[in-house]
Structure 1
Amino acid sequence: MKELKKYKMYINGEWVESLNGEYFPSYNPATGEPWCQVAKGTAEDVDRAVQAAHQAFSNPEWANLTFTERGRLVRRLGELIAEHVEELAEVETLDNGKLIREMRGQVKYMPEYFYYFAGLADKIHGQTLPIDKRDMFVFTSKEPLGVVAAITPWNSPLYLTTLKLAPALVAGNTIVIKPSEMTSASLLELVKLVEKAGFPPGVVNVVTGFGMPVGDTLTSHPLVRRVAFTGGPESARHIVRNSAQNFAKVSLELGGKSPNIVFEDANPDNAAMGIIAGIFGASGQSCVAGSRAFLHVDIYDKVMEKLVDRVSQIKIGDPLKDETEMGPVATQAQLERIEKYVSIGLEEGGKLIYGGKKPEYLGKGWYFEPTIFEHANHQSRLINEEVFGPVLSVIPFKDEQEAISLANSTEYGLAAGIWVGDVAKAHRVAKAVNAGIVWVNTYRAISPMAAIGGSGLSGYGREGGYEAIQEYLQDKTVWINTSSEPIPDPFIMR
């Protein structure tokens, strides 16, 4: 049997094994077989990584860099990523089953985030305050927080790490990253480029392993000043509880039950393609997956016909082949979760229109067919709970107010799609829908200039855009007494 490749952790500028010397397997979702091994971190490994990051934060090699110099380093990292698109894309496809053509596009676009934040580096500034005391000059400055903990998920490890890494570094912080135990390899490949870009030792660290003890120790560590998490609500609750130990700032980018609302004057072809992009792109494993489609009764049959016709033609198979349109889901547990929710949908009265099962002809891989359910109302758990897979729920609606009510009938508030010809209606509905991101006549569009984030069970805080860099800074207020007069009564507040 061929020996599996081993990935070590990256701490203080060195590639190291865990202190217990243990490794665990990472599986290729397309085959269901292990393809590499990853170091199994311990609480002690987390501590040495955080200590390294803490020391690097005040090390003159990093602390004394100007904003412009930090920006150049971050830009250099982006340039190196652009030079290694194919290698990074292939490793992520092997590790989490995403389409190679999607990963090529995603990794090719990732440098734009590093360039954007690098460009913001020397635009970070405070302000002078028009203070109401004549003998005082008061100004503010923007300061880095210190050690940042980044917890990243298995569905888009590289992209979702980028959203945290670029602004954290530009702001002058140091970082310890804990990738998902399911998909650590691509991030470890990316860190090789961090090293090559010339970042000082300890500025970027990666500890691999499981939530207990790695994630738990990292998010509660007394030297961690900020936790940036992407994942599910249960893990998020645990992180929030942990932050009571260190009072770290926390941002949570969680999941959603995002609606696609199709009005009677929408282009039915575009609406059908947008719905497909929203739920069957990335095999439905996206925080912004448009898992609920609300179709106006006047256009319902036309959109459904186009939807089912195109879905029936989706090519499922090996994600490393360019012709494949839908690959496997990332984990065995996720496959079982999808199967469970399909059963729930059927039990609760949903009508299965297409799919609904694992395509056995694809062997041991963790594949699931693109699946469409019709529902008469919004009562099923399938509609209200996040599945995180290629399962679409479709419901008809009669008018604008009903569409808005249906869209907002969820505890999530991350994204929404609106398909409409009437511009005034587009503005009204975009304002009324509870979502941090609203796409009109498109879906799953991204840019480094545009923030991502939601409310409710979708979390809080923003990633991407100018707003993101503020999440990695803190304000300092400086008072300077310009008077040469003696200090008055010390027992009275100035």
Structure 2
Amino acid sequence: MDLTRTDIYLDGAWVAASSGQTLAVRNPATEEIVATVPAGTAADVDRAVAAARAAFPGWADTAPAERAAALDRLHAALTARAHTVANTVATELGTPLKIAVRVQAGLPLTVLRSYVDLAAEPPAEESVGNSLVVREPVGVVGAITPWNYPLHQVVAKLAPALAAGCTVVLKPSELTPLTAYLLVDAIHEAGFPPGVVNLVPGTGPEVGEAIAAHPDVDMVSFTGSTATGRRISHLAADRIARVALELGGKSANVILDDADLATAVKVGVGNAFLNSGQTCTAWTRMLVHRDRYDEALALAAKVAEGYRLGDPFDPATRLGPVVSAAQRDRIAGHVARGLADGGRLVAGGPDAPLPERGYFVAPTVIADVDPDSALAQEEVFGPVLAVIPVDDEDAAVAVANNSRYGLAGAVWSGDQERALRVARRLRTGAVDINGAPFNPLAPFGGYKQSGLGRELGRYGLDEYLQTKAIQR
């Protein structure tokens, strides 16, 4: 099935891109090209930003209830496409379909629904002495999004920006652009005013940099690698533009000596391998008390061996491919270095059997990892778990915080208060205690080199608002 798209979306219409060049989209499970999309240019970004700038005053002045109604129509249009979204993500990213239905299609709908409700509430005003303090939309937003959650990461930026009264220029990842097209189809059906949302697919060096450096883009919201986030920050800083960055992670899963070990290990391995390990919040470092270390390794190996690789559309598949050949090779390099640095292979690894075609990586567990080694410090972004023994609670906290990242983490203990005490000591933006569920209304973002700002819920909406004091 050819999923090719031929146009970009500007000022409320599908139009031709400035160049006739295209980008190929591959199915990572088969290595076949399944579609092409236009390769946008800086000229296309200029057109998109001009449309967003022209649309901004009218959208900013639209009553909150009307903006909420438009988002509600978008929710309905996207819900009608949920099955197509899941199938598209399974095709262009390789997420197993049953996971794509629940996470790749389901979670963004939950997030979008939350902003339907939040958009209906006018931003709070307050009096401070003789000043009236008001909140206003920041302006034109450039949203640059990654490939690993191609709908969720867009909705987490687009929905609060629109709820706040901002207009948007969107650049999806060139590896997974097809899902963004489905979203913009839904936006068009929902009847947003022309120019409120604009789509320019393309590469980071061409389209992403043009957005980040554009003088008429008031804010850049980026999710991706820390290295690219650094570049985005520099481009925006040259014109003193606001940035929101959700970057890399190397999250620690702290399993204390009084934890339910079987559950902690099973859930921990599952978290590390979700979406083939291509999750910024993945708990890729498992820290286990030395007294229970050998038992934890045996459990982790058994759990990892139960992850069947294969066709994302096969209901028996638990682990799909990674997104590209380059990603597969990069992960293999991390595994090789981890073993060369003294790690001990417990499951998977370079000699594990793989499907004949596709960019597959075996679910891999490596024990005895040095906390200062590359495997414990670098973001692998694949199904690779590093297991590290620790002697006590203080050592676990020290190892967990021994990272330039600080995005997420977990603590397991039979004593809830003890787990909470340890969670408070972790220098990271989110911590799950004993497998607590993800909360799409809670603030999401990182400490240190994991980023700036927060997404989701009221905290995500606040990122797209400016504060003004009016003296009376």
TM over 0.5: yes
Q: Is 1:170 the equivalent of 2:163?
A: yes
1:450 counterpart (442, 445, 448): 442
Q: Cα gap change, 1:311/1:202 in structure 2, threshold over 3 Å: closer, same or farther? A: same
2:37 is aligned to: 38
Question: In 1, distance between residues paired with 2:121 and 2:409?
Answer: 32
Residue number among 457, 468, 472 corresponding to 2:464 in the alignment:
472
Structure-2 separation of matches of 1:19 and 1:202? 18
- What is the match of residue 303 of structure 1? 296
1:208 is paired with a residue of what secondary structure? coil
Cα distance change on mapping 1:284 and 1:3 into 2, 3 Å: closer
Percent of aligned pairs sharing the same letter? 39
In structure 2, the partner of 1:67 is 64
Q: Which residue of 317, 328, 331 maps to 2:321?
A: 328
SS of aligned partner of 2:238: helix
Q: Is 1:355 aligned to 2:337, yes or no? A: no
SS of alignment partner, residue 298 of structure 1 = helix
Cα RMSD for the two superposed structures: 1.5
5+ unaligned residues in a row in structure 2: which ranges?
A: none
Among residues 179, 182, 186, which one is paired with 1:189 in the alignment?
182
Task: Tell me which moved more, 285-294 or 241-250.
Answer: 241-250
Q: CA deviation at 1:353?
A: 1.1
Partners of 1:262 and 1:109 lie apart in 2 by: 27
Alignment partner, residue 89 of structure 2: 92
Query: Structure 1: how far apart are the matches of 2:162 and 2:416?
Result: 40
Q: Secondary structure at the match of 2:36?
A: strand
Alignment match of 1:346 (pick from 339, 343, 350): 339
Partner SS, residue 110 of structure 1: helix
1:149 matched to 2:142: yes
Residue 51 of structure 2 contacts residue 195 of structure 2 at CA under 8 Å; is this kept in 1? yes
Preserved contact between residue 353 and residue 362 of structure 2 (Cα < 8 Å) = no
- CA distance in structure 2 between the aligned counterparts of 1:8 and 1:330, rounded to whole angstroms: 24
- Aligned to 1:246, the other structure's residue is in SS state coil
Amino acid at match of 2:460: A
Larger CA deviation: 75-84 vs 235-244: 75-84
Conserved? CA contact 1:219–1:243, under 8 Å: yes
**Contact in 2 for aligned 1:121/1:171 (Cα 8 Å):** yes
Kindly indicate whether the alpha-carbon contact (under 8 Å) linking 1:7 and 1:185 is maintained by their aligned counterparts in 2. Answer: no
Give the alignment partner of residue 459 of structure 1, picking from 451, 460, 466: 451
Residues 288 and 389, structure 2, Cα contact 8 Å, conserved in 1 = yes
Distance of 2:245 and 2:3 partners within structure 1? 34
Determine which structure has more spread, i.e. the larger CA radius of gyration. 1
Q: Which whole-Å CA distance do the structure 1 matches of 2:325 and 2:13 have between them?
A: 33
| Structure 2 counterparts to residues 83-122 of structure 1, below 5 A | 83-106=80-103, 107-122=105-120
What one-letter code is carried by the residue in structure 1 that aligns with 2:85? L
Q: Report the counterpart of residue 490 of structure 1 in structure 2.
A: none
Task: Rate the CA distance shift 1:336–1:400 in 2: closer, same or farther, 3 A.
Answer: same
Deviations 1:68-90 (A, max 9, x none): 11011112211222221110111
Matching residue's letter, 2:394? Q
What are the ranges of 5 or more consecutive residues in structure 1 without an aligned counterpart? 132-136, 481-494
Give secondary structure in 2 for the equivalent of 1:125. coil
Tell me the CA shift for residue 128 of structure 1.
3.5
Normalising by the residue count of structure 2, what TM-score does the alignment of the two structures yield? 0.97
Q: Deviations over 1:50-99 (max 9, x none)?
A: 0000001123xx34420111011112211222221110111111111111
Shift in Å at residue 447 of structure 1? 2.8
1:188 aligns to what SS in structure 2?
helix
Counterpart for residue 192 of structure 2: 199
1:126 and 1:139 in contact (8 A); partners too: no
Deviation string for 1:163-211 (max 9, x for gaps)? Answer: 1011000000000011111111111111100011110111011101111
> Using the alignment, how far apart are the partners of 2:2 and 2:435 within structure 1?
45
Spell out, residue by residue over 1:419-472, the C-alpha distance to the aligned partner (whole angstroms, 9 max, x if none): 1111221121011111100001116x4232111101112111100121111100
Change (3 A) 1:129 1:64: closer
Q: Counterpart of 1:82?
A: 79
1:366: which partner in 2? 359
Q: 1:361 to 1:296 in 2, by over 3 A?
A: closer
Q: How many residue pairs align between the two structures?
A: 471
> 1:403 — aligned with what?
396
| Counterpart secondary structure, 2:170 | strand
1:111-161 Cα deviation digits (max 9, x unpaired): 221221121123333434242xxxxx5312211111000010011110111
In structure 2, what is the Cα distance between the partners aligned to 1:90 and 1:7?
Answer: 20
One-letter amino acid matched to 1:108: G
Length-normalised TM-score, structure 1: 0.92
Task: Give the distance between the partners of 2:33 and 2:408, measured in 1 at CA.
Answer: 34
What is the deviation of 1:301? 2.2
1:284-342 Cα offsets, whole Å, 9 max, x none, are 00000111001112222222222211211211101122221000001111101101011
Change (3 A) 1:360 1:351: closer
CA distance in structure 2 between the aligned counterparts of 1:266 and 1:13, rounded to whole angstroms: 54
**Larger CA deviation: 288-297 vs 352-361:** 352-361
